[in-house]
Amino acid sequence: MSDAVLAIGTRKGLFLARSAGGGPFEVEPIQFSTVAVPSVAIDTRGTTPRLLAGIEYGHFGPSVTYSDDLGKTWHEADHAPIAFPEKTGATLVRVWQLVPSPSEPDVVWAGVEPGALFRSEDRGVTYRLVEGLWEHPHREHWQPGGGGLCLHTIVNHPTDPQILGVAVSAAGFYRSTDGGLSWEAANQGIRAPFFPEGQQYPEYGQCVHKVVMHPSRPERLYLQHHFGVYRSDDFGGSWHDIGATLPSDFGFPVVVHPSRPDTIYVLPLTADMDRTPAGHRYQVHRSDDAGATWRSFSQGLPEGPVHASVLRDAMTASEAGIFFGTRDGEVHCSRDDGETWSLVGRHLPDVLSVRAAVL
C-alpha cells in the first residue's frame, strides 16, 4: 500500500494527517494556528508534491501559501499572490478554491470572493485575474448566497485546457470553451424555488453549492444545489434532478469516486433553515448508477444525535479514501468506498476544507 496525506483546513489552522503503507491516518500538530484555512489543494503533478493553502490572516487579509516538503516549511510570494487590478475597484475577501489543472503542468486555478477566477502559471505562487468572467454582463446582476458572492468550484476538463466550468453562489454554473476568454451560463433545468412562480428556471441566479466531474467521463457533471441534486451529461448544457429519493434535497458537498464515474456521494442536511444532518445522523448516501438509486451508509459513524453540518469542501474522494469533516471538528474516513467509516480526528476546529492524495 502507498503512503497518503490528508490536508484539513479549519477555522483556526491547518492539520496534516499521514498514512504509511495503508495504515491509519495520524493527525500531526496544528499549523497556522488561529488562522482560517478555507481552501487546500495537493498538487501531485510534479516530481515533488506541492501543498497549497488559501489562508486568512484576519486583519492582514487573505493569501495563498505553498509547501514543497509536505508541510515542513511554507512560502509565499514576495507580494500579494492574488490581488484584483485597481481598475476593478474590488478587494479580495477569501480564497475559496485552489485547483491544479490536469492538462497544463504549471497551471493552478483559484476561485475567490467576490465571485472571480484567477489563473497561476507558476504552480500556484502568483495569480492573475481571468477578465473574461469578471467582465461578463451577468455580473452586475449576481447576488451573494449566504456565504457571500463566492466562486467556490472549478471544474477542469482532463485533457482539453480550453474547457472549464465554475460555480458561483448565488449566480449558478458557467462554462467556457476557449480557456476562459468567454463564458456562458449553463443552468438549464435547475429549479430555483426561491424565485417567483413562473420564473423558477432562470438563465442564472441559481444557488449552486458544488459541482464535480470524473476525468474518465468529462461530459458528465454532478451538482448539489440549494434545493436538489442534479446530473448533466453534456457539461452543463442541460440538467435533470437525480435526488428525488434522498431524505433531503438540501446539502453542500457532492463527490465522485476516484475510479468509478457512476459512483457519487452526498451528505444530506435536513433543510436550508435547519442545517443539521438528516435524521440527526451522519449518513453518507452513495449512488452507483449515476443517481438513479441511492443507498445510505453510516457504519462506524456516530449513532447520534448529531447536529453539526458538513460544508461544501469538507468532503473529498481520492485513491486514499473517502473523507469528510464536520463543523464540530471531527474527520471521518472510509477506505471501502463508503461501506464503513473510521475516525481520523476529533476536537479540531470547525472543518472548512479537506483534500487527500496518495503520494
Q: What is the pLDDT of residues 216-266, one digit of tens each?
A: 999 999 999 999 999 999 999 999 999 999 999 999 999 999 999 999 999
d(CA 92, CA 259): 36
Amino acid at 114: P
Q: How confident is the model at residue 304 (pLDDT cuts 50, 70, 90)?
A: confident
CATH architecture of 91-358: 7 Propeller (2.130)
Distance CA 186, CA 165 (A): 9
Is 0.85 surpassed by the pTM of this model? yes
Confidence of residue 59 (pLDDT cuts 50, 70, 90): confident
What is the structure's pLDDT at 46?
Answer: 86
- Distance in angstroms (rounded) separating the CA atoms of residues 90 and 129: 11
What residues are paired with 46 via a beta bridge? none
Tens-place pLDDT, residues 135-177:
999 999 999 999 999 999 999 999 999 999 999 999 999 999 9
pLDDT by residue (tens digit) across 2-46? 899 999 999 999 999 999 998 999 999 999 999 999 999 999 998
pLDDT for residue 1: 58
Q: Cα torsion at 234, 167, 315, 72 (round to 10°)?
A: 120
- Rounded Cα–Cα distance for residues 340 and 4 (Å): 19
